[in-house]
Structure 1
């Protein structure tokens, strides 16, 4: 016999289901996170979801996708294939004028990119489809997305397989967002989604983009070309370093081959440096930024091009965000009575390595930053902590210089 008391009972007048005693703590946690208890969804959804996408043509008016979702539709649970989900709360109110469409009211598209296929998932509505990862498949997907007019089109970085899709979206003028794959995976684990599949990943990407906001700086073709050249230069430098380290231990049987490889690597390094200079000079924005950064005493051409290639967001975001993006922002580590030291975490390691070399050069050639470092050491800061603080100061200075387009000028002390 089934106990009726274990079933949720509607409560008048708002029809919010009354949860059984064993699940009330879940509702308390969701109220603390500003989630509506009505949005709790503990159902296991099947692989087959609602269809209806790609969107119909302009002549099919009855099946058109609405431009603005209603409040009840926005609050509908998001279904992941074969995964437990918890629906998300309503978007916070914003100050928009009458007749304007909120970004949350427009659909969000998540795309899982693989070598052969593009799996697409759209929220709200949980519509999905797949396209071949070919020129024709991307062209058909772009046509469908233009009719859909989404707020965001999100995908993960997949080792270069996503680059043709990124170029196609940029050429079509559609809003794209490249997400960190580790963050998306941890987001899915936090939602209770432990299964991994291409359709599941596409749904997670769409939910991640709709939940976690980000300040998106659209990439430019010139910046991507410079980043590609800089990445290839790092490979040549690593190869050259290894060959030089092996030079004294190579026997006579292969010495001539080793010398040939060493000379070829040195010639490739000169060639790649010439191409980097050509790319920087050909673009007015890169040339201007190069002149601004290289005006700082102690920062040369190689460090400047590395910083430009690794961080194209210079001047477009705040200084606090730029330091976190590079990985030189100290993070708190407190819990109760425990107060540990702050540590830097994550970030772009190649840009951070360039800043480290810039800080070492600044200690020799920039008296302003040498005085800043010495002051921290005199106040009891360890050498590495003071050096990290100097790296953060250099990043903030570069960001302000590029944002305001002002060259380096040493601060003047009042008389």
Structure 2
């Protein structure tokens, strides 16, 4: 009885810090809240990022909370807490979460990033089948590739490849950079204003731009980041080859590392399980959405080719506050993705720099970066970044890289 009372008081204390901003609501217990919802997370400067999700009843008063972006579904859980009508929404892999109070066909609360200082963004939602942004008839000729220049005409200018696809009144998109992609973007165009967004539980991306011969707009991410861009239709534009950006420095013989696995055992390339086998070494982090995509891809390769000798090992560089918390983050990623290959905790906090711990590389410009070794453990390829299944180049990459992996094995 004492333990139950303590847990109840703890839940009340947890929510009291944000109760002043969460609207009170009388919940009609007979209200059916299963179905389609429209959620909004407010970023800096009152910028609203909208996203779609569905609720379906699960065991124990919990709900399946399925986040939807351009056909991609994130299977989150909305878990009932001791405090009446309060829920915690936990997402796969990422440490971020929502704390919400359920009302009558509405919910409100906050979105938290526990690894950042005072990271709390307002969240609200309502049962709705309307699109996340206003829609209008769109010229299908707008579909295609665009060269996108961020911070144009400044020292920070950098280019990306945007792909837009018009389907009816909706716009789907992907934006690829030399370090990865912004994953599954969805939105629409109304009165000449295009709005695209994605929310995967860990990252918040929102693009807003005016349509025309030149697309001009702003990219918003998280609570503070924003960057202007311009884009031009250019079906011939391409990014640099991802296999050419990272390499071993001339004064080093090859790749070497020694880091603890999630059980605390030190693992290196000299371990007997790697001897005489081709190895893919993945530089990654549980906080990184492109690493999630690449990990699922590498999981498929491991399951297909491990019997032929292929080994894969992940070197995760976490951004937690402590080593213990970093271990929890990495373990959650390994568990949620059911990764069959070993994960080594190479770095725990932001102070642990991958470039310093792997000094043989000319740089670590992207998470993820994957290093391919032949059976003699010579570096034969380094792939920087990862353009995942939300991009039009993914299937071609999978086909080409499959042939390359087969060449390492045979």
* TM-score, with length taken from structure 1: 0.24
Question: Which structure has the greater CA radius of gyration?
Answer: 1
Structure whose residues are more often strand by fraction:
2
Greater RCO (Cα-Cα under 8 Å, separation 6 or more): 2
* TM-score, with length taken from structure 2: 0.25
Structure whose residues are more often helix by fraction:
1
